[in-house]
Amino acid sequence: MGAPSSRAVALGAAFLLLLVALPSAFLYLTSSAAPAASRAALLNLKPFSARCPPAAAPPLRVFMYDLPPRFHVAMMAANGPNATAGLFPAWPPSAGGIRRQHSVEYWMMASLQDGGGGGGAGSGRREAVRVRDPDTAEAFFVPFFSSLSFDVHGRNMTDPDTEADRLLQVELMEILWKSKYWQRSAGRDHVIPMHHPNAFRFLRNMVNASILIVADFGRYTKELASLRKDVVAPYVHVVGSFVDDDAPDPFEARHTLLFFRGRTVRKDEGKIRAKLAKILKGKDGVRFENSFATGDGFKISTEGMRSSKFCLHPAGDTPASCRLFDAIVSHCVPVIVSSRIELPFEDEIDYSEFSLFFSVEEALRPDYLLNQLRQISKKKWVEMWLKLKNVSHHYEFQYPPRKGDAVNMIWRQVRHKIPAVNLAIHRNRRLKIPDWWG
């Protein structure tokens, strides 16, 4: 072929120039010529998943074992005729104190009753629904009132009546071992309330794979209970909720700086209470009172918390106590002195926004704690008070349950455990050797 013509050479050169110029022109248009607002929109563009959040997950499907009434509501028979008449009994107002504090098992069972989802204004969606077919269930609820059983059957632990509590636990385990649903998961997908520190104390090691509903981990070995698989539930508060806390100036309306009322002679970490009493009693702005759980005592505590800016929460026999949740529903800023406390719903709630935390060493340093509280500005305290008002509904137990209340929050925590439960169940089915991770 002959040499290319001058026309062909010119066309080729023009094409090459166009290829070189196009990127520069594009950069000019997107950087200099494009409006600033358009560039900002491009820079701030979120992924599609963030702009369109997924729809709320459907309620957790829960199968509840049909246990005889002696495992649950029959223990309440003395407090209400409906307990054995085929109707689910209301929680008796006379059953306060320890029984009420640890009644989480009752409210969880109530939430799974037919029609337990409510329907009035504000009832909202349910986090768990009862299914009658166990093959469709994602979790299995065991309605044994283990905390109430401990309290009813020989609470002092040396009483011969404690044998009744032990026999209930033995009979329950026989029922569970015969269940093919317990057998197929080794109980991993079973939910067992064990809120009182001494609940289920005879046979705890036989349910160590299950999802336990606990108040804290003070009396559990690491082999039995952990944050990985179990749910920390709040105590049921025993003081009334402060529903009309609408003072024009809430800071000035609360005249007491720091309030504590309770038993000062405790075991284990609770020994700090007696030490704090020596440091704080008689100090300006402090009400530090020794008392027992009685009806009149609850009334005094209610008044004290509602008229105080800060409420002291030292450890008791175990890291947590009901006092913390009494303070929350009283909108009294909690001052927590408990090194090993674990808090409910902490993946969703930041307690540092409405609580103050001190180490044991800090709290026992003379005048340190009170000086720190006095340095909290009015503005900061009001911010914490407003946050308490916004979160306190998460600590309300009621039937029917309502959106975001304590029972629904607990069931949501159970849902969070299910993926890890399913992983363990599925791995166990195919492993040919003992779990090498163990």
pLDDT tens per residue, range 194-242? 999 999 999 999 999 999 999 999 889 888 999 999 999 999 999 999 9
Query: So what's the pLDDT on residue 309?
Result: 98
Same domain, 188 and 332: no
Same domain, 364 and 403: no
Query: So what's the pLDDT on residue 33?
Result: 43
- Is 34 inside a domain boundary? no
- Is 105 inside a domain boundary? yes
Same domain, 407 and 305: no
Which residues are bridge partners to 8 per DSSP?
none
User: At residue 237, what are phi and psi to the nearest 5 degrees?
Assistant: -65, 145
Residue 368 pLDDT class (50, 70, 90 cuts):
very high
Domain assignment of residue 321, given as a range: 256-394
Q: Answer yes or no: are the C-beta atoms of 329 and 303 closer than 8 Å.
A: no
Same domain, 147 and 290: no
- Which among 228-242, 295-309, 416-430 has the top mean pLDDT? 228-242
Look-up: residue for tokens 């607990």?
410
- Is 176 inside a domain boundary? yes
Same domain, 169 and 222: yes
Query: So what's the pLDDT on residue 80?
Result: 47
Same domain, 78 and 204: yes
Same domain, 106 and 218: yes
Selected residue with higher pLDDT from 95 and 382: 382
Whether 43 shows a pLDDT value over 80: the answer reads no
Query: So what's the pLDDT on residue 437?
Result: 67
Residue 352 pLDDT class (50, 70, 90 cuts):
very high
Distance CA 156, CA 213 (A): 23
Q: Answer yes or no: are the C-beta atoms of 238 and 248 closer than 8 Å.
A: no
Query: So what's the pLDDT on residue 124?
Result: 60
- Is 246 inside a domain boundary? no
Distance CA 212, CA 148 (A): 16
Selected residue with higher pLDDT from 304 and 32: 304
As a whole number, mean pLDDT of residues 66-85 equals 75
Same domain, 318 and 388: yes
Query: So what's the pLDDT on residue 69?
Result: 95
Same domain, 378 and 265: yes
Whether the model clears a pTM of 0.85, i.e. scores above it, the answer is: no
Query: So what's the pLDDT on residue 295?
Result: 64
- Is 262 inside a domain boundary? yes
Selected residue with higher pLDDT from 81 and 176: 176
Residue 8 pLDDT class (50, 70, 90 cuts):
low
Same domain, 423 and 358: no
pLDDT one-digit tens code per residue, 76-124: 875 444 444 567 899 887 777 889 999 999 999 999 997 544 444 445 6
Distance CA 408, CA 79 (A): 26
- Token pair, residue 154, equals 């020989």
Nearest residue to 142 (alpha-carbon basis) of 85, 206, 205, 187: 187
pLDDT one-digit tens code per residue, 10-40: 555 555 454 444 444 444 444 444 444 444 4
Query: So what's the pLDDT on residue 83?
Result: 46
Same domain, 158 and 66: yes
- Is 382 inside a domain boundary? yes
Query: What CATH number does the domain containing 294 carry?
Result: 3.40.50.2000
- Is 274 inside a domain boundary? yes
Query: So what's the pLDDT on residue 167?
Result: 95
Whether 270 shows a pLDDT value over 60: the answer reads no
Same domain, 308 and 424: no
What's the domain count of the chain?
2
Q: Answer yes or no: are the C-beta atoms of 395 and 406 closer than 8 Å.
A: yes
Residue 164 pLDDT class (50, 70, 90 cuts):
very high
Mean pLDDT over the full length of the chain: 85
Query: So what's the pLDDT on residue 284?
Result: 96
Query: So what's the pLDDT on residue 109?
Result: 97
Query: So what's the pLDDT on residue 53?
Result: 45
CB atoms within 10 A of CB 51: 8
Query: So what's the pLDDT on residue 78?
Result: 53
Query: So what's the pLDDT on residue 12?
Result: 55
Query: So what's the pLDDT on residue 154?
Result: 72
User: Looking at the chain, how many residues does it have?
Assistant: 438
Query: So what's the pLDDT on residue 317?
Result: 77
- Is 303 inside a domain boundary? yes
